[in-house]
A and B are shown apart, each in its own frame.
Chain A
Amino acid sequence: MDRERLFSPRNPWFTGSVALTLAITVVTAAFGFVWLPRIERNARFANLWDAICSVAGAPRAAPALAPVVQPSVVTTRVVLTPTTLPPSDAESIGRGATLALRCTMCHGARGLSEANSPNLAGQYAAVIYKELEDYKSGARTSAVMMPIVADLSQRDMRDLAAYYAYLPRPSGPPPSSTPGAPRIVESGAPMRGIAPCGACHGSLDNKLGSPWLEGQPAAYLHAQLQAFATGARHNDIGAQMRNVARQMSPDEMEAAASYYAGRP
C-alpha cells in the first residue's frame, strides 16, 4: 500500500484535493475581489483593477473630494516617544539650573511655587519640555510665559527639563485626615467618556506626556480644567483633556483640583 505514490497525477486523492482546494480558493477570490466590489457601485472605484486593489487593501492616496480643513488654532508640534529626550547628564542639569534662575520669580527658587504657579521640582522632563515648546510655538498661550520662552533654544528647553526633573519632588506624609480619592479621580465617568484622572496623572498609572499633579496649587489646576473646557487651552494634540474637561461638572473640577492639591 505504501508503494502507492501520493504526489502523482494518477493518485485521485492528490489530484482531487488539490483541484478542490484550488477551485474553492479561485471561486472565493473571484467573489471577494471581483464580483462584490463590482456590485457595490462605489463611485470611488475608477475601474475593475482599482476596485481589486481597494478590497485587497493596497494603500492608496485619499481621494481629493474635499479640501483638507486646517485647524484655525496652532496645535502642538511635539511628538513624544520614549526617545524624544536623551538621558540627562550633569552638564545639561547644570546649564538648566543657570537658565532656571529666570523662572524663580514664579516657580520658586527650587521649583516649588509660592504663587499658585505650578511646582516644577521633580516634574517629568517630557512634560516640562513639551510645555516650553508649546509656549514657544504658540500652541499654549500665556502673556507671562510666551515672552520668556521666546528666545530659548532647543537645547535650553531640554536642559531646563533635565534640571527640573532632577530636583527632588516634594514629599511628606499624606494628610492625616485623608478622604478617599473622589470618584472622578478614581473611576472617571465612563458613561460620559471620562477616563479616571489617576489613569494618566499618577495614583493609578502614568502615561508619557502626562504630568503628575500631587501638590500642585488648586487654583492652577482648576483654571487649567476650565481653560481646557472652553478650548482656551488646546495643546493636547488628541484633544484628550479638552474632551474630558468639557464633560466634567463644576463640582467634579473642584473635587479633582482640591484632591490633587491636598496630596503631598
Chain B
Amino acid sequence: MISSKRLILAHFWLAFAGFGVALLLGEWQMFIRSPLHGWIGDPEYYYRSVTAHGTAMAYVFPTLVAMGFGYAISEASLARPLAGLRWAWAGFTLVAAGTVIAVVPVAMGRASILYTFYPPLIANTAYYVGVVLVVVGSWIWVALMSVNLRLWKRDNPGRPVPLAMFANVAGSYLWAWTAVGAAIELLFQILPVAFGLTTTVNAGLARVFFSWTLHAIVYFWLMPTYIAYYTILPRAIGGRLFSDSMARLSFILFLIVAMPIGIHHLYADPQVGAGFKFVHAVFTALVALPTLLTVLTICASVEIAGRLRGGKGVFGWIAALPWGNPIMLAAAFSFVLLGFGGAGGLVNMSYQLDSSIHNTQWVTGHFHLIFGGAIVIMYFAIAYDLWPHLTGRALDSLRLMRLQLWTWFIGMIVLSFPWHYTGILGMPRRMAFYDYTDPAIARVASSVMTSVAGGAILVISGILFFIVLIRGQMAPRVSAGAYRFSVAVHPPRAVPVALNGFALWIGLMIALTAANYGYPIVRLLALPEAAVPAVFIGRG
C-alpha cells in the first residue's frame, strides 16, 4: 500500500521536468555542432548547455527517480507507511533547492565547467553548493531507507527482507559510499578555492576522487532499472521470478564490485600508476558477473511467463510473450540497449583498447546507450507502472506508450551508433566546433547529421512521454488496488543471514575501495607540487 503518494509524485515530476529540459538542451547541442548549422560564434553557450544537460541528467534526474521509487518500494514492499515522512520532504526540498541554486549560475554563464567539474577550472560557488545540496538531500533518503528497513526487521525478526526493499537499500548504500569521492573533492579541494581561501588545486588528486564517484554512480542509476527487471517485469507479464537468491546475489555483487573500478576513467592520466589501472580494469570486468546473472535470471523469468501463456519449443515462448504490454516492450528494448552498450563498454574498460577511443564520441555513444537507453527506458516503464497507484487514475493510452517506447529505442540507436563510429574515426567529444570543410573530418559529417536525427526522434518520444503522463493525470478516477511486486517461483521462507543484510557486503565494499584507491590517494596527497593554479570561469 503506497500512502505517501504526493511525496513520490513530487519526486517523479521534478525528475521528469529536469529530464525534459535537459533533453531539449541535448538536441540543441547536437544540432548546432552539426553541419546542419553554422558556427554559433561563442563556444561558451555550448559549454553552458552541456553543463546544464549533464548536471540535470546525471545528478538530478536519476537521483530523484531512485528516491521516489525507493519510497514507493519501502511502503509497498514492507506494507507499512514510510517512517520519517517529514525528513523525506526535507530531502526533497534540499534536492529541489540545490537544483535551482546550481542551475542559476550555469544559465548565467558562471559555471560552464561541465558536470564533471574539471578542476583546475573553478566555477561560481553557488554551482558547487547546489550540487552539494542535491547530494545531501539524497543522503537523507539513504538514511530513511536504512531506518525503514531496520524498523521492519525489528518487527519481523527472522523473516526474509522483501527482494524489492533489499535491492533498494543496496542501491542506497552504494550511492552513499560512491558519492563520498565527489563530496571530498568538492568540500576539501574545490570549495576552498571557490571561496577564495586558496588559489591552487591538486587537479590530479581531484580527478582520482571524482573517478571514485563517476563510475559507481552509473550503477546507482542502474539500480531502479534492475529492481524493475526483477520485481516488476515478471509480475507485469504474468510470470514468476526465476530465483530470489540469484537476484539478491546480483545486487550484493553490484554493491561490492561497482566501487573499486573508477580508475578506468583515468587510463590516460599520468598521475595514476599503470598497476592500479590494470587492477581497476580487472575489477571492471567483474561487473559483467552481476550483469550476466541478471540477464540469465530475467530471461528465465520471462520464459516462465511465455510458457505459462502457452509458448512451446525452443523459441516458441518468445512469440507467446505479451509484446503489447509496455513493460515487456521496455524491458526487451532495455536489454538490447544494455547489450550494445555493454559490448562497447568492454572496449572502454580495456586498458589497451581504450587508448583508441579515449575521449572520443565513442564514449558519449557508450554512456548514452547505457544510461539514456537501457536505464532511462526502464524509468519510463517504472513511471507507467506506478502512475495509476500514485494518481488513482488509469493510464489507458497503451498505443501511445508503445509508440513512445519504440521511438525512444529507435531514437537512441540512431543517436548513439553513429557516435560510436565517429569515435573510432577519432572525433573528439565535448568540442564546441568542428570544421566539416576540412578533408580530415569531412567524412564524419553524414554520421553527425544522422545522430541529430536520432536526437530529434528522442525529443518526439520525450513529448509523447509527457502526453501519456498528463493524460493519465486527467483520466477518471479508478482504484488501482495494492501495488505488488513479482513473486519468485520458490518464494523464500528463510534466507541465510548473509543474504538478508548488508554488514558483510559493505565491509567488503569499503575494504576493496581502500585497497584499490588507498595508495594513489595517499601518494597524491603527499605531493604538494601537484597543486596547480585555479582557472576561474565566467569572471572575465
Contacts and interface: CB of A to CB of B under 8 A. Distances in A.
Interface stretch (B307-315, B356-364, B515-523): B515-523
Contacts of A24: 282, 286
Nearest to B153: A2
Interface residue tally on A, bucketed by range = 35 or more
Interface string B127-149: 00000000000000000000000
Interface in B409-444: 431, 433-435, 438, 440-441
Contacts of B535: 207-208
Given A2-B158, A199-B43, A21 B508 contact: yes
A57 B199 contact: no
Contacts of A58: 273, 523
Given A57-B273, A82-B536, A191 B498 contact: no
Given A13-B498, A13-B504, A21-B511, A56 B276 contact: yes
Most chain A C-beta atoms within 10 Å of own C-beta, residue among B42, B508, B535: B42
Given A28-B279, A28-B283, A54-B273, A83 B503 contact: no
A83 B39 contact: no
A252 interface: no
A168 interface: no
A186 B276 contact: no
Given A186-B39, A187-B39, A56 B519 contact: yes
Contact of A1 (B43, B158, B519): B158
Given A31-B278, A56-B273, A191-B440, A6 B508 contact: no
Nearest to B39: A187
Given A1-B158, A21-B256, A205 B44 contact: yes
Contacts of B276: 32, 55-57
Contacts of B271: 57
A104 interface: no
Interface string B266-291: 00000111111011001100100000
A6 B199 contact: no
Contacts of B495: 1
A55 B435 contact: no
B3 interface: no
Interface in B488-540: 494-501, 503-505, 508, 511-512, 515, 519-520, 523, 527, 533-536, 540
Interface in A2-47: 2, 4-7, 11, 13-14, 17-18, 21, 24-25, 28-29, 31-33, 36-37
Contacts of A32: 274-276, 278-279, 282
A208 B273 CA distance: 32
B508 A11 contact: no
B150 to A, nearest CB: 13
A186 to B, nearest CB: 5
B503 A6 contact: yes
B275 A55 contact: yes
A55 B274 contact: yes
Nearest to B493: A1
14 contacts: A1-B496, A4-B496, A6-B501, A11-B498, A13-B497, A18-B508, A21-B256, A54-B274, A55-B278, A56-B523, A58-B273, A190-B434, A206-B540, A208-B535
The 9 closest A-B pairs by CB, nearest first: A57-B273, A206-B540, A13-B498, A55-B275, A32-B278, A32-B275, A33-B275, A191-B438, A81-B533
Given A1-B500, A13-B499, A17-B508, 20 more contacts: A1-B494, A6-B497, A13-B498, A17-B505, A18-B508, A21-B508, A21-B512, A31-B278, A52-B275, A55-B275, A57-B271, A57-B273, A58-B523, A59-B527, A81-B533, A187-B41, A190-B433, A199-B43, A202-B540, A205-B540
